[in-house]
Amino acid sequence: MGRARIAVMGGDGIGPEVTTEAVRVLETVADLFGHHFEFFHEPVGGHCIDEHGVALLPGSLRRVKRADALLFGAVGGPKWDDPRAPTRPEDGLLGVRKGLQVFANLRPVRVYPSLLDASPLKSSKLSEVDFVVVRELTGGLYFAKPKRVWESRGQTRAVDTCAYSEAEIERVITVAINLARGRRSRVMSVDKANVMATGRLWRQVATRMAGENPDVKIEHVLVDSCAMALVTRPESFDVIVTENTFGDILTDEAAVITGSMGMLPSASLGSSALGMYEPIHGSAPDIAGKGVANPLAAILSSAMLLRHSLGLAYEARLVEQAVDEVIAEGARTADIAAGGSAISTTEMANTVVTTLRTLHSTAR
């Protein structure tokens, strides 16, 4: 029997709809296994700007820091897209990442055989695809200063800064190496060492760590070449590790090649057990409030929460198995229905909950 306090930030768009269903799955897990999970909600993103003038309240961050885990939905939408706005929904997300110091963002990419037809790639390339991207999440272009827009000699100018320290690179590559040890023991380190100073430092650190960890095969690739390889030979990857901006771009590419973007979860981890779990898909404002969003990425994120923050690997596996099963049996929300008949967000979650109960009772 375990106790846990779980913070929930649904955010904007479909975020609240899908996190509600993920909470329901976690409640089912608690019920089946005799755990006690307590949930509390905090505002973030665009609706937080509307209500409080900021995308993240300092008090929310303090409370989340004392929780065992954070389940996050998504932020943003056209309503808050004015480039001149003093604050943006994304500031809330970035504030949480930085505030919790979750420097390693794990984005597993796997294929569901029955969804392969939705992929833009030939399905013959895809059956073997199974990799994880470890994206550095609290450094690089997203956070380094200077970062500003200003006027000078009749021109508007802007600057962003990419900065990394050896320690920041080393800790995220360590996460990738440890992850690879439980998989196929291969790490692809991605950089832009031919142009960027931070890229050369990245490669230097990765090369040293390759020497120190001979049981894991660490290779290097330039980011442009990696973008190409993701579509030409996606099956060749096991663990990919890269800096923040490259990771942002490569994970959208990686997510879409499987044809199941709405299915992919993520975990953001730091040096304590407190982690942040969110679906990769965004706030999808076009379908918000319609009850049609796919809750499976949020549900799979809650499985990662069970595994990484609560140490409940068996329960996590059972949730993942339930999702595998409902997909194999043909349950489809609109995004993965390929024009066929689709069920609602809540119906999909109901199917997962029922399957979870059945799996649990047959396993005993």
- Catalytic site positions: 142, 192, 224, 248, 252
Helix (H, G, I), strand (E, B) or coil at 242: strand
Residue 93 vs 240, nearer CB to ligand IPM: 93
Give the type of residue at 311: G
Name which of Mg ion, ligand IPM, none residue 31 binds, using a CB cut-off of 5 to 8 Å depending on partner kind: none
Residue 160 vs 248, nearer CB to Mg ion: 248
Residues near ligand IPM, by CB under 6 A? 76, 90, 93, 248
Residue 281 vs 308, nearer CB to ligand IPM: 281
CB of 197 vs ligand IPM, minimal distance in Å: 22
Dihedral angle computed from the Cα positions of residues 53, 55, 57 and 60, in that order, rounded to the nearest 10 degrees: 150
How many angstroms separate the CA atoms of 188 and 175, rounded?
A: 13
Name which of Mg ion, ligand IPM, none residue 324 binds, using a CB cut-off of 5 to 8 Å depending on partner kind: none
Q: Which two tokens stand for residue 49?
A: 């700007």
Q: Which two tokens stand for residue 42?
A: 């905090």
The count of residues interacting with Mg ion (CB under 5 A) is 1
State how far the alpha carbon of 179 is from the alpha carbons of 77, 183, 209, 350, in Å.
Answer: 34, 7, 15, 32
Q: Which two tokens stand for residue 338?
A: 């390929």
160 touches Mg ion (CB under 5 A): no
Q: Which of 31, 130, 248, 347 binds Mg ion (CB under 5 A)?
A: 248
Place of tokens 């918000």: 288
Dihedral angle computed from the Cα positions of residues 40, 46, 49 and 50, in that order, rounded to the nearest 10 degrees: -100
State how far the alpha carbon of 304 is from the alpha carbons of 72, 89, 308, 320, in Å.
Answer: 12, 25, 6, 9
Judge contact between 209 and 177, C-beta under 8 A.
yes
CB of 248 vs Mg ion, minimal distance in Å: 4
CB of 125 vs Mg ion, minimal distance in Å: 23
Residue 37 vs 103, nearer CB to Mg ion: 103
Name which of Mg ion, ligand IPM, none residue 299 binds, using a CB cut-off of 5 to 8 Å depending on partner kind: none
How many angstroms separate the CA atoms of 117 and 167, rounded?
A: 43
CB of 208 vs ligand IPM, minimal distance in Å: 28
- Stretches 10-18, 112-120, 200-208, 240-248: which one binds Mg ion (CB under 5 A)? 240-248
Residue 31 vs 248, nearer CB to Mg ion: 248
Name which of ligand IPM, Mg ion, none residue 325 binds, using a CB cut-off of 5 to 8 Å depending on partner kind: none
Residue 266 vs 309, nearer CB to ligand IPM: 266
How many angstroms separate the CA atoms of 33 and 6, rounded?
A: 17
Q: Which residue is nearest to ligand IPM (CB)?
A: 90
How many angstroms separate the CA atoms of 343 and 335, rounded?
A: 10
CB of 240 vs Mg ion, minimal distance in Å: 15
Name the phi and psi angles at 136, rounded to 5.
Answer: -65, 135
Judge contact between 207 and 221, C-beta under 8 A.
no
CB of 13 vs ligand IPM, minimal distance in Å: 11
Q: Which residues bind Mg ion (CB under 5 A)?
A: 248
